């Protein structure tokens, strides 16, 4: 997930960032990370992309872009707070990753638009996809077959973060 940052403040901005200049270049990656797979080996990122952007047969149900749009201001404030409080870029990015990944998971749990068609909900129930499986550590979707993207919990559990040095 790429986020562009607009900075203002001229000299005061540069002065505020001076303590972090020698921290090295780091970034936080948030979303479905490389290597996450379903039990059958299907990459979770491929299925996530289908749902995030849609296809000719699957409507887009944005869980990452919509969460970013709704939370980017609070995430930015939280990052600034963590930088100021800890003085450590990695600590601040780790805190951002924790919050953002949980916010994205919550967006899925809260339900996404458009709603599933009645026949899709019925098919999930028939196939036993109305409850979660062992993969689902968060107990998502239990008795909620009407929720899009909630069947086994694999996609939600795959949403994570990592702080990397560039």
Give me the pLDDT at residue 110, please.
Answer: 86
What's the structural domain count of the chain? 1
From residue 109, how far is each of 47, 112, 113 by CA, in Å? 17, 8, 12
pLDDT value at residue 19: 61
Closest-CA residue to 97 (of 86, 105, 109): 105
Q: For the ranges 69-73, 75-79, 106-110, 160-164, which has the lowest average pLDDT?
A: 106-110
Distance CA 81, CA 154 (A): 32
**In this predicted structure, what is the pLDDT of residue 87?**
86
15-24, 58-67, 97-106, 141-150: least confidently modelled range? 15-24
Residue 75 lies in a domain: yes
Burial class (CB in 10 A: 0-12, 13-18, 19+), 162: middle
Number of H helices, E strands in the chain: 6, 2
Give domain status of residue 43, yes or no.
yes
Domain assignment present for 90:
yes
Assigned domain for 9 exists: no
Q: Return the beta strands (E) in 15-136 as ranges.
A: 26-32
148 assigned to some structural domain: yes
pLDDT of residue 115: 86
The pLDDT > 70 percentage for the chain reads 77
Instruction: Check residues 149 and 155 and name the one with the higher pLDDT.
Output: 155
Supply the range of the domain harboring residue 95.
26-165
Question: If you average pLDDT over every residue of the chain, what do you get?
Answer: 82
Q: What is the pLDDT of residue 142?
A: 47
Look at residue 8 and tell me if it is in a domain.
no
pLDDT at 1 over 80: no
User: Is 16 in contact with 148 (CB distance < 8 Å)?
Assistant: no
The answer to whether residue 107 scores a pLDDT higher than 80 is yes
């Amino acid at each position: 997930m790429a986020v562009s940052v607009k900075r203002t403040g001229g000299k005061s901005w540069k002065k505020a960032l001076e303590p972090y200049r020698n921290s090295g270049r780091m970034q936080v990656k948030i979303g479905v990370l490389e290597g996450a797979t379903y039990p059958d080996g299907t990459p979770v990122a491929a299925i996530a992309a289908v749902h995030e952007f849609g296809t000719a047969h699957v409507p887009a149900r944005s869980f990452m872009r919509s969460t970013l749009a709704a939370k980017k201001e609070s995430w930015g404030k939280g990052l600034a707070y963590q930088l100021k409080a800890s003085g450590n870029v990695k600590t601040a990015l780790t805190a951002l990753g924790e919050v953002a990944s949980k916010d994205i998971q919550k967006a899925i749990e809260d339900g996404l638009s458009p709603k599933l068609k009645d026949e899709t909900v019925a098919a999930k129930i028939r196939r036993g996809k109305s409850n979660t499986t062992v993969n689902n550590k968060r107990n998502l979707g239990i008795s909620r077959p009407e929720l899009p993207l909630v069947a086994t919990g694999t996609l939600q559990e795959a949403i994570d973060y990592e702080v990397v040095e560039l």
